[in-house]
Amino acid sequence: MPYIEAKLTSKLSPEKCEALKSGFGKTIELIPGKSEDWLMVNISDGQKMYFKGEDDKDSAFISVSIFGKASSKAYSALTSELCTLISYIAGVSPSRIYITYREVDEWGWNGSNF
């Protein structure tokens, strides 16, 4: 049950949103046991964000939540791939991308919890 929320300053075309969503579906597999089959994605583009007190360049904030736990090695691999993906599709420099990870013990779906 992964969830990826992406907030970007750049405005994305529908095609770029689809490419980003598909890319998230592939990269989430870097965390053992996770796949696009259960992935929920939220892409908020055109956001007003400041990085280092400035808003003159595109930035992105990515939040990844997973049910359970993952290793630091898996998170490092995911960070690398997410930065590459966002840079390629949205034109955001990896130096202007923050990524956070959240491990969740209780996750509800379909009227009950896992």
The CATH number given to whatever domain includes residue 18 is 3.30.429.10
Within-domain flag for 51: yes
Q: Tell me the mean pLDDT in the region 62-78.
A: 97
**Owner of token pair 């053992």:** 32
Residues whose CB falls within 8 Å of the CB of residue 62, separated by 6 or more in sequence, listed in order: 4, 5, 6, 7, 82, 86, 97, 98, 99, 100
Within-domain flag for 114: no
Characterize the bridge pairing of strands 60-67 and 97-104: parallel
Split into its structural domains, the chain has a count of 1
Single pTM value for the model: 0.94
Q: Yes or no: say if 74 and 29 are a contact pair by the CB < 8 Å rule.
A: no
Q: Given pLDDT bands bounded at 50, 70 and 90, which one contains residue 96?
A: very high
**Domain range enclosing 85:** 3-109
pLDDT per position as a tens digit, 10-45: 999 999 999 999 999 999 999 999 999 999 999 999
Within-domain flag for 50: yes
